[in-house]
Amino acid sequence: MNHSPHWAHDAIFYHIYPLGFCGAPARNDFSGAPVSRLDKIRTWIPHLRKLGVNALYLGPVFESTAHGYDTANYYEIDRRLGNRQTLAELSAELHRNNIRLILDGVFNHVGRDFWAFRDVQQHGEASAYKDWFDGLRFDARSPYGDPFSYQPWSGHYSLVRLNLKHPDVRAHLFEAVRMWVNEFNIDGLRLDVADCLDFDFMRALRDFTAQLRPDFWLMGEVVHGDYNLWANPQTLHSVTNYECYKGLYSSLVDKNYFEIAYALNRQFAPDGLYPGVPLYNFADNHDVDRVASLLTNTSHLYPLYLLLFSMPGVPSIYYGSEWGLEGKRTPESDSALRPDLDLGLLQRGSAHPRLVGDISRLAAARQALPALRHGAYTQLFVTPEQFAFARHTESDYVAVLLNASDSPVSVEVCVPGHFTQAVDVLNDHQRFPVQAGSLRIETVPARWGRILKLEIG
């Protein structure tokens, strides 16, 4: 399958869940004056630039009841975060710093405070919006006592599924997207629960957004399945790479690099499933435990991020995890994953003060080497605690060596025979000879690795 080049191949994402990050109240009273808490993100822009970030994925920002995924109004910013001017000014500041802005598109469902659902509550079968909601019937009652029933999302009756086949629903959502592009200059959308969305809706959204701006990016949240069903020239540009998310940490916990090696071969080897697809790679996000809480040895954060930034796809950092922040969800709450953070406190002291600088170095290496962003993937070797692969284009060849063990190791790999030396762009540009197609590195540092650019001359 051919996939045309897109700016996303060159992106390094930062992901913020704004209601938590900005310290917003847990629930919206729908009556208070807007509070411009989103302005906090502007103070973090120098930090994002230091990290090498050039794209921000901002979680739900539109008027909602509680957590942001229960939309009440697609045309207004959540008053707990500010107003439309607040977001427009944030977007302008991001773009002045060459950082693109991606928003959460929550189109599968709305909250019970959504204005059209309230109209159904008020007018019943006489409501002009009764067909806007999936499976709405007046011969039964909802668990909330409404004189009608409806299809919830995943059993959560606080989330009402929209009927995305209805032309008026589509028009309402698409015009909201048009406003977001025109007023906030957004560069793309992350589609919430894309694996639940109607495919015709996604194809229509792709056509619509391509007319708004040809380089608009659509990335979908997909957990299981064949990613090609969603990521293709007709539907979305990319999806969340949950398959590799799991392997990134469990291959380290289990001392089993074979797990992530298998996934990368399956996805990106010459006969893999997704060559050329800029899958959205992440170590953690607002829905899963922080990766530092999943690792049994948190010094493995270093080889983990080295792999995240060198494997095929698009790397993303979840806010705070660049300091090795920990956090686990509970059966009742995700709040531990979505904290209000103080940049100054984090910079003055964290469990892993080196990690920010190392991630910055990884980002610089990624941006300096086209093969890490656009290159094909070839596995070189794998053992339980060592892993090596190549990223290569017609003109560039990069060998990535990972060592998860507690001791330095020597590694030898086979590379194309016309190269004569390798330069480690990650570690002080150390140089190593290549002899007759063999690259031998006597020391690959413990719990770290090397990114080696092969050269002739």
Do 283 and 432 fall into the same domain?
no
Residues 6+ apart with CB under 8 A from 345: none
Of 319, 339, 371, the domain-final residue: 371
Q: What is the spatial distance between Cα 130 and Cα 135, in angstroms, rounded to a whole number?
A: 10
30: left (phi over 0), alpha (psi -120 to 50) or beta: left
Phi first, then psi, for residue 292 (nearest 5°) are -65, -25
The neighbour count for residue 89, using CB atoms within 10 Å, is 16
Work out the average pLDDT over 177-206: 98
Contact yes or no for 292/328 (Cβ under 8 A): no
Tell me which of 339, 371, 403 is where a domain ends: 371
Q: How much is the average pLDDT of 177-184?
A: 98
Task: Say what the pLDDT of residue 349 is.
Answer: 87
pLDDT band at 67; cut points 50, 70, 90: very high
What is the model's pLDDT at position 457? 73
* Token pair of 398 as six digits: 């990069």
Indicate whether 24 belongs to any domain.
yes
Looking only at the bridges linking them, the beta strands covering 13-16 and 314-318 are: parallel
And the tokens for 11? 């992106």
Question: Does residue 185 share a domain with residue 83?
Answer: yes
Residues 11 and 120 in one domain: yes
Asked whether residue 18 is domain-assigned, the answer is yes
Domain check: are 332 and 447 in the same one?
no
Question: What torsion do the CA atoms of 222, 228, 233, 239 make, to the nearest 10 degrees?
Answer: 20
What is the rounded distance in angstroms from the CA atom of residue 217 to the CA atom of residue 21? 24
Mean pLDDT score, 84-95? 98
Any domain includes 410: yes
> pLDDT value at position 152?
97
Which of 351, 371, 391 terminates a domain? The answer is 371
Mean pLDDT of 39-66: 98
Band (pLDDT 50/70/90 cuts) for residue 276 is confident
Mean of the pLDDT values across residues 170-179? Answer: 98
Q: What φ, ψ does residue 60 adopt, rounded to 5°?
A: -55, 130
- Residue-wise DSSP of 85-149: HHHHHHHHHHHHTT-EEEEEE--SEEETT-HHHHHHHHHGGG-TTGGGBTT-BSSS--TT--SSB
Is residue 104 predicted with pLDDT exceeding 60?
A: yes
- Domain range for 385 is 375-455
Asked if 387 and 424 sit in the same domain, the reply is yes
Q: What is the mean pLDDT of residues 195-203?
A: 97
Question: What is d(CA 47, CA 386) in angstroms, rounded to the nearest whole number?
Answer: 32
- pLDDT for position 143: 97
Q: CATH number of the domain that 175 lies in?
A: 3.20.20.80
Residues 307, 360, single domain; the answer is yes
Residue 21 lies in a domain: yes
Q: List % helix, strand, coil for the chain (3-state, nearest 5).
A: 35, 25, 40
Do 218 and 321 sit in the same domain of this protein? yes
Residues 204 and 233 in one domain: yes
**The predicted structure's pLDDT at residue 250:** 98
Q: Tokens representing 238?
A: 């990319």
The whole-angstrom separation of Cα 319 and Cα 340 is 10
- Asked if 367 and 383 sit in the same domain, the reply is no
The mean pLDDT of 278-301, rounded to a whole number, is: 97
- Looking at residue 3, its pLDDT comes to 45
Tally the domains of the chain: 2
Q: Mean pLDDT over all residues of the chain? A: 96
Overall average pLDDT of the 386-392 stretch? 98
Straight-line distance from the first to the last Cα atom of the chain, in angstroms, rounded to the nearest whole number = 36
Q: How far apart are CA 145 and CA 156, in angstroms?
A: 14
Domain CATH code at residue 400: 2.60.40.1180
Is 2 part of any domain?
no
Whether 111 and 231 map to the same domain: the answer is yes
d(CA 405, CA 304): 12
Model confidence band, residue 174 (pLDDT cutoffs 50, 70, 90) = very high
Q: How confident is the model at residue 335 (pLDDT cuts 50, 70, 90)?
A: very high
Residue with tokens 């000014």: 89
Q: pLDDT class for 295, splitting at 50, 70, 90?
A: very high
Same domain, 136 and 202: yes
Give the angle 457-391-271 at the CA atoms, nearest 5°.
Answer: 130
Q: Give the pLDDT confidence score for residue 357 in this predicted structure.
A: 97
91 pLDDT above the threshold of 80: yes
Tally: H helices and E strands in the chain: 14, 21
Pairing of strands 421-424, 448-455: antiparallel
Please check whether residues 132 and 209 belong to one and the same domain.
yes
On whether the CB atoms of residues 278 and 366 are closer than 8 A, the answer is: no
Indicate if the pLDDT at residue 169 is higher than 80: yes
Q: Is 58 helix (H, G, I), strand (E, B) or coil?
A: strand
What percent of the chain lies above the pLDDT cut of 70?
A: 99
Residue 1 lies in a domain: no
Query: Which residues neighbour 123 within 8 Å (Cβ) at sequence distance 6 or greater?
Result: none
